[in-house]
Every structure is written in C-alpha cells, then in structure tokens.
Chain A
Amino acid sequence: EPEVTQTPSHQVTQMGQEVILRCVPISNHLYFYWYRQILGQKVEFLVSFYNNEISEKSEIFDDQFSVERPDGSNFTLKIRSTKLEDSAMYFCASRATGAKMNYGYTFGSGTRLTVV
C-alpha cells in the first residue's frame, strides 16, 4: 500500500535555528498538507498546498513557516527561527484527486521536533 514518508523521524534543534522537515507524498496525489500535534493536544491544521501554491493556511502558519515542493517528489516544511513552543509532532498528509478525493488523507508517520 502506498505510503507517505517523512524524514527525519525525530529532530532536536536549538531555539532560533532553522529546521526543514521533509515529506514524500504518495506519487499520484496532488494535495498536500502539514498538521501539527503538540504533545497531549489535538491535531491542528497548518497549511494545504496544491498546484505549487498554498491553498489555505491557519493562524499558526505565520511568517516563520514556509512550504515548498522543490522537485516532483518532495514536500518540505521550513521553520525559520524555531521557538520552544514549536516543539510538536509534525504530520505530512496527501490526498488523491478525482473520484478518490473524498477519501481520508494518508498521513505520514510524523516528525517529532524538539526545540531546546
């Protein structure tokens, strides 16, 4: 079964440093998403991406965040200057189009980001 792959699985970074979280969505999916889950809390939407541009973003997704699809396979989330409160599990997800677009998303295994 196709998978969404996220790397790294765990990243520790110092406050103020830039981090890039990487995702390889399912190959024939065209909608991509980033979600965040602070430990013990609900899963929150960050941003959606379609046709090489952001289609929707939440209030969390401020100027410190950016997304990019640098090639035909990778989808990245960059946090420019990390804060302690950015510590969370970050999930990438992708979704099909056409008749299959009504299915739920396929999520990656997540990247646990720890800011120290």
Chain B
Amino acid sequence: AQTVTQSQPEMSVQEAETVTLSCTYDTSESDYYLFWYKQPPSRQMILVIRQEAYKQQNATENRFSVNFQKAAKSFSLKISDSQLGDAAMYFCAYREYGNKLVFGAGTILRVKS
C-alpha cells in the first residue's frame, strides 16, 4: 500500500521568511500525482499545488513551489514570503491515476509576526 510520510509535526516561520515542509512517499508506480492541501482552522481542505510525476519541472503557484525528487520519492513544499494567513495544517497527498488520495499525517505551520 502507498504511504505518505510527513516527518515534521510542527514548523514555525517568521513573517516574510521562507519555510520548507517535507514529504516522502512510497510507491512502486511510475505514474502518479502529488498534492499539497492546506487546512486552516475552519478545517476546509484547500488545494495549494499539484505535481504530475511524469513532469520533471517543479510546480509553482505564486509564493508556493515544490521540490520534486522522483528518485528519492520526496515532495517538499516551499512557502516564500510567509504571511499570517499561511498559518494552517498542511497535508501532502498522493494519488495514482484514477484512484483515491492518500494523505500524510500533516504539518502544523505557525507564522510569527
């Protein structure tokens, strides 16, 4: 079974600084998709960024970017210029083509002003 591991239960970052959240996953597949979801205190699940495994180029969405290392099965999220509104739980998730999402345990991100 596929597993997703987020080794950082909690991270802190100063406002305007950069932070990187780690994620590793285990799979024997070559074609799959990876996602980062943000869950603010409202507990809604918000898609932050996604990456297709067949693409070598790292995905970027404004201040959010990923470092996708397929051979190492690593998928980290970098948040630049951190803002107070970035404070949330962040989940890394994996999906094979057409199948369900498998989530990691999450990382709580605290942003200090």
A56 touches B103 (CB 8 A): no
Interface of B is mostly: strand
Residue of A nearest to B50 (CB): A104
Collect the chain A residues with CB atoms within 8 Å of residue B50's CB: 103-104
Q: In the complex, are the beta carbons of B100 and A48 less than 8 A apart? A: yes
A43 within 8 A of B: yes
The tally of residues in A whose CB lies under 8 Å from a CB in B reads: 23
**B88: min CB distance to chain A, Å:** 14
Contact partners of A37 in chain B: CB under 8 A: 43
User: Total interface residues on B, using CB and 8 Å?
Assistant: 24
Q: Pick the contact of A45 from B91, B101, B106 — CB < 8 Å?
A: B101
With A42-B106, A45-B102, A56-B100: A102-B45 Cβ-Cβ less than 8 Å: no
Main secondary structure of the interface of A (DSSP, over half): strand
B positions within 8 Å CB-CB of A: 33, 35, 37, 42-47, 50, 52, 91, 93, 95, 97-106
